[in-house]
Amino acid sequence: MATLPDQTSSRYRFVIMGLVAFLGFSSGLSLFTIGPIAPLIIDDYGINNSTASLLTGLVFLVHVAFAIPASLLVGRVGLKKLIAAGALLNAAPLLSFLATDSFLFLLALRGVFGLGFILFFPASGPLFMQWFRSKELPLVNGVFVASVSLGIAASAVSVAPLAEAIGWEAALSAFGALSLVGAVFWLALGKAQTGHTEIESHAVMKRLWAVLRTRSTFLVAAADAGPLALLSVALAWLPTFYYEAHGISLTEGGVLMGIFSIAGVLALVLASLLASRTRRRRPYLIIPGILIGFAGFGAFLLADSIAVYFAVVAMGFACWFYLPALLTIPMELTPHDPGRVSMIFATLMTVGGVVGFLAPLIVGGITDLTGSFLPGLALASAIAWSLGIAGFLLPETGVALSTPKRDGLPGSNSS
């Protein structure tokens, strides 16, 4: 998948960025949409908190099962086809209006949605590497993640009032419909180099093992896992915690989660602009990595105070500010090997999927056992400090963008 000489200077790359941003936004709409309306779903199906948490957790469980296999398709299946397949599967929540009497059907739709996202995400890195210059990668990574975060924010603010107006099933279907629109736009306007390569199975597994056993791959995944645990728990359970423990309405709880997500979007914009103008990556992990745990504790301990708004904003900043730099690090480690980048992205998604699946489930289970959300929320907040720890341990890849450190991967240009 060598970069065409004129692609990184073509104005059409902004069309590509816009298309991917819309796909990210429509995916974000459905990613954490269950949290603000969980009490309604629990009442309608007569289920407990642990069971309801599967609607969020299953998305991440699918990531665990399919992230690495999906990354192996990059280079064997055209990126346009791979992204199109992911976008179409992302539209599965469109059928939520049929799940009125079947929790299992709704759960299956969430699983299909998760599969779509895991096809789409690992392909985005190689796509950006085809179309954008190295100095533009932090910015375009930030735009992509910001679009997902905008979708999360939009659904957090709107899903509860929309569910009250037309029913939660129809609200979920409306969000799925936008994913279908995004898929149609991508099929009509999306472009990517075919980049087919035939690699023997044992060679593929050798390359995959080489990626998995590197220290930097582990640290990139660990850096993201803690914040993702806190983010998934916050969006899955904080509205219910505010509602049950403090009498805050679901709509107001959704607004708080919307503020949380909007703060994340603003942090992404700031981080993208700064990271594209600097050659340091680790400070973008270390600074929010110190703040994140304290903000997580504040988001539930200060629920009865106006200070909860400041805690939620700080938590949103910390949960998203690091992402443009983190997603750029694999591209700088192996700038001439998009296949390895997709494998690192897949590893990140696999580890994150384990955490994203278990974290809401564990918090729901602890709440059912103890009758309180506090122990589970405290655990999620403490785990989030993995971001700061990994930031201290990761190598600095952005010091010299033209000659980045490699990480000892066999087959790289340095070997």
Q: What is the DSSP string of 346-368?
A: HHHHHHHHHHHHHHHHHHHHHHH
Number of H helices, E strands in the chain: 16, 0
Q: State the pLDDT at residue 208.
A: 66
pLDDT band at residue 171 under the 50/70/90 scheme:
very high
Contact 210, 7 (CB under 8 A): no
Residue 414 is predicted with a pLDDT of: 35
Sequence-distant (6+) residues with CB within 8 A of 225 are 351, 352, 354, 355, 383, 386
Cβ proximity of 71 and 343 under 8 Å:
yes
Question: Considering the domain boundaries, does residue 56 fall inside one?
Answer: yes
Please indicate, yes or no, if residue 412 is contained in any of the structural domains: no
d(CA 57, CA 366): 15
Asked whether residue 149 is domain-assigned, the answer is: yes
Joined together, the tokens standing for residue 205 give 């597994």
In a domain, 304, yes or no: yes
Q: What percent of the chain has pLDDT over 90?
A: 30
The answer to whether position 404 is within a domain reads: no
What is the pLDDT confidence band of residue 336, given thresholds at 50, 70 and 90? Answer: low
Q: Please report whether residue 411 resides in a domain.
A: no
Residues 6+ apart with CB under 8 A from 155: 28, 29, 30, 31, 32, 33, 36, 175
Q: What's the total number of domains in the chain?
A: 1
pTM beyond 0.85: the answer is no
The CATH number of residue 232's host domain is 1.20.1250.20
Question: Which of the four pLDDT bands, split at 50, 70 and 90, describes residue 415?
Answer: very low
Give a yes or no: residue 2 inside a domain: no
- With respect to residue 288, please indicate whether it lies within any of the assigned structural domains: yes
The residue among 96, 186, 130, 158 whose CA lies nearest residue 9 is: 130
Confidence of residue 26 (pLDDT cuts 50, 70, 90): very high
Compute the chain's Rg from CA coordinates: 20
Structural domain that includes position 322: 11-192+203-393
In this structure, what DSSP letter does residue 77 have? B
The amino acid occupying position 279 is: R
